[in-house]
Amino acid sequence: MAEHISGEIRLLLEQLVDRFVLKGGKAPDGIESMQRELEKMKVAYEQDLDPADDAAALQEPSNDWPGA
């Protein structure tokens, strides 16, 4: 299972790099940018394992419409 997921992730990463290159960037620059963003995501995940569980994310918008 882990090998399948790893292969799927690699394919998605290659597609991202391809998109970056098609827009005029260089592959090494795209990979470096992805590494920086992944590191930020890792730090954020370590600080809050499931942001969807936050109370602010679970609050529904108020229904202040007249006659509601």
**Distance (Å, whole) CA 32 – CA 35:** 5
| Residue 46 burial class via C-beta count within 10 angstroms: exposed 0-12, middle 13-18, buried 19 and up | exposed
What is the mean predicted confidence (pLDDT) over 30-58? 82
Domain with 6, as residue range(s), is 2-48
Q: Is residue 14 part of a domain?
A: yes
Tokens of 23: 């827009």
Q: Among candidates 1, 32, 34, 37, which has minimal Cα distance to 16?
A: 34
Q: Is residue 64 part of a domain?
A: no
Q: Is residue 57 part of a domain?
A: no
State the DSSP string of 3-25. Answer: HHHHHHHHHHHHHHHHHHHHTT-
Q: Which residue has the higher pLDDT, 42 or 61?
A: 42
Domains identified in the chain, total number: 1
Confidence of residue 28 (pLDDT cuts 50, 70, 90): very high
> Does the pTM exceed 0.95?
no
pLDDT for the residue numbered 47: 87
Q: Is residue 60 part of a domain?
A: no
pLDDT for the residue numbered 62: 67
Q: Is residue 24 part of a domain?
A: yes
How many residues does this entry show for the chain?
Answer: 68
Q: Is residue 66 part of a domain?
A: no
Is residue 4's pLDDT more than 90? no
pLDDT for the residue numbered 34: 95
